[in-house]
Amino acid sequence: MRQPMTQQVETSRVAAYPASPLQFSRRQFLTSALATGALVSQPFAVVQGRQPPAQAVPLPPEIEPLVRVLENTPRERLLEEVGQRVRQGLDYRPLLAALLLAGVRNIQPRPVGFKFHAVMVVYSVHLASQSAPASDRWLPIFWALDYFKRAQAADESQGDWTMGPVDTANIPPARQVRQAFIKSMESWDEAAADTAIAGLARTAKPQESFDLLCRYGARDFRDIGHKAIFVANAWRTLTAIGWAHAEPVLRSLAYALLAHGGNDDAGLRSFQRNQRLAASIRTDWQSGHMQAAAVTDLLQTLRQVSPDDASDAVVEQLNRGVVPQSIWDALFNAAAELMMRQPGIMALHAVTTTNALHMAFRTATDDSTRRLLLLQNAAFIPMFRGRPKTQPATAIDQMEPGELAQTGASAIDEIFADIARHPDRAARKTLAYLQRQQPPQAFMDAARRELVRKGSNAHDYKFTSAVLEDYAHVSPAWRDRYLAASIFNLHGSEHAGNPLVERIRAALKG
């Protein structure tokens, strides 16, 4: 299947990295990574080999050559090819943009997961790169380059999907594009949605597009939260690389959000119900009081009730004056508790989906959308949990700190030595470390260091980036427990390293 686009791009250039890419400063890295409009700092010859099909969506001439390098270079040579270009001055930000665009042009976003993680993980990789030690800052994006090649090969073996040009003749006029997009999404009309989202990318303000997309990202539970994750991560990556790249990314996103095969979906039914329920929340719902008892009560509710009952409980708390932050404290910790109770793919996505929906809640400007996102997140937690259980073996609000023999940096070493074999013990030691008022940043730095040196799949990056980001979004009274519970899916010092790391370092040194 081929999907459509055209776009105009504004570009500017930023200073290239020093010739030794392992020794630039944090200031240099962030300036280059976030400067507006940078694409390429030098011309690039296109690697000979497979050319984009004639029906493939064209990209602007400033970025097309670099995207073609990623598409056409064989996997066994790509890291060395890009490493040489980095040494010659290729900046981080155009590489990030090319990685995202190569993914959306070459990888079918259905199902929203599996091979398409090569696209959805790009923002998590970006976060890891920004926060990594200077010696490790290229490791995440180079890992993602290799991951893209794996996904590209998988897509080719499954039919070789390619995004095609947009049907420009059917793009609605600017004055009609918003309503056309809403109509197409409500009717699950793929062709109409494709032209409408292209029109939004060309004529609407970015915030207007996001306010629409984040509602549809939370509309159903198909693909276990990946739709919401794609919305959040696409938006955040575009914020880093520039909205000029939005059109093909948003077209991929709209196509993903319209995936609806299979049986009737409980999440969609909750969405329809929560649209009505949101109207019953008090007008001044964003004001109120922090209430520790409300968090504990909602945690207990989320352990046992149905999705509908979970949404009802949130409305009841809001209407009696509980501030939304207390609701989010319960949702974050309920997701984290699932990692303690039943580590696995569902619990992991409870955490990453809550991260995405909370990001959408913070970013959306429409009041009704923000209410709906909060209620949908509450409904999703029981869906991730599965069959109700009478009582968890481990309750996050009852977890006791463990015995931690060391202090300071040695305490972190002690914790990370336990993660691989004794995650429960490591979690309790982490709680003890944090409750001693030890610096959480040192713990998070260690977690990122282990991630970029040992992470080997998209979930490693998505989960770790979500947890370390959301630590700051949980109230002080609850954030230590949230971070301690994350231990069950972090890498420790006893985990095996990723052999790709040495190849990346060699490629960067030349």
**Same domain membership, residue 160 and residue 18:** yes
Q: Are residues 67 and 180 in the same domain?
A: no
Q: Half-sphere exposure of residue 246, counting CA atoms within 13 Å on the CB side?
A: 23
Q: How many domains, in total, are found in the chain? A: 4
295-309 residue pLDDT tens: 999 999 999 999 999
Could you tell me if 184 and 150 lie in one domain?
no
pLDDT score recorded for residue 210: 97
What is the pLDDT, as a whole number, of residue 388? 59
Rounded to whole angstroms, the Cα distance separating 230 from 119 reads 8
Q: Which residues pair with 12 in a beta bridge?
A: 38
Cα 400 off chain centre by: 31
- Same domain flag for 386 and 407: no
* pLDDT at 389 (0 to 100): 55
What is the distance between the alpha carbons of residues 415 and 403, in angstroms, rounded to a whole number?
11
The partner residues of 322 in beta bridges, in order of sequence, read: 289
62-93 pLDDT, tens per residue?
A: 999 999 999 999 999 999 999 999 999 999 99
Pair (78, 21) in one structural domain: yes
* Per-residue pLDDT at 48: 37
**Domain assignment of residue 312, yes or no:** yes
Q: Of 131, 164, 197, which closes a domain?
A: 164
Question: Do 212 and 195 belong together in one domain?
Answer: yes
Q: How many CB atoms lie within 10 A of CB 240?
A: 18
Same domain assignment for residues 227 and 340: no
Q: What is the pLDDT of residue 391?
A: 58
**Is 53 a member of any domain?**
yes
Helix, coil or strand: residue 3: strand
Question: Contact 126/92 with Cβ under 8 angstroms?
Answer: no
- Strands 162-164 and 2-4, by their bridges, are parallel
Instruction: Tell which phi-psi region holds residue 386, choosing left (phi > 0), alpha (psi between -120 and 50) or beta.
Output: left
- Can you give the length of the chain in residues? 510
Residues 6+ apart with CB under 8 A from 19: 87
Residues 94 and 150 in one domain: yes
Q: Domain for residue 484, yes or no? A: yes
Amino acid residing at 288 = G
User: Is residue 160 domain-shared with residue 34, that is, in the same domain?
Assistant: yes
**Same-domain check for residues 115 and 14:** yes
The neighbouring-strand residues paired with 163 are 3
Asked whether residue 1 is domain-assigned, the answer is: no
Is residue 501 included in any domain, yes or no? no
User: Considering the entire predicted model, what is its pTM?
Assistant: 0.90
Domain range enclosing 440 = 399-489
Q: 396, 411, 434 — which closes off a domain? A: 396
In a domain? residue 444: yes
* 113, 224 Cβ separation under 8 angstroms: yes
Q: What is the pLDDT along the chain (510 residues), one digit of tens a residue?
A: 334 333 322 222 222 222 223 333 444 434 443 333 333 333 233 333 445 556 899 999 999 999 999 999 999 999 999 999 999 999 999 999 999 999 999 999 999 999 999 999 999 999 999 999 889 999 999 999 999 999 999 999 999 999 999 999 999 999 999 999 999 999 999 999 999 999 999 999 999 999 999 999 999 999 999 999 999 999 999 999 999 999 999 999 999 999 987 655 777 899 999 999 999 999 999 999 998 999 999 999 999 999 999 999 999 999 999 999 999 999 999 999 999 998 999 999 999 999 999 999 999 999 999 999 999 999 999 999 997 555 556 799 999 999 999 999 999 999 999 999 999 999 999 999 999 988 999 999 999 999 999 999 999 999 999 999 999 999 999 999 999 999 999 999 999 999 999 999 999 998
Count CB-CB contacts under 10 A for residue 145.
25
Asked if residue 452 and residue 379 are part of one domain, the reply reads no
Domain co-membership, 153 together with 180:
no
Answer yes or no: is 186 within a domain.
yes
Is residue 346 in some structural domain?
yes
What is the model's pLDDT at position 387? 79
* Per-residue pLDDT at 46: 33
At residue 33, the pLDDT reads 39
How far apart CA 175 and CA 92 sit, in angstroms, is 37
Task: From 338, 363, 396, give the residue that closes a domain.
Answer: 396
Residue 414 tokens read as 């002690």
Integer angstrom CA distances of residue 166 from 64, 87, 156, 198: 17, 36, 22, 7
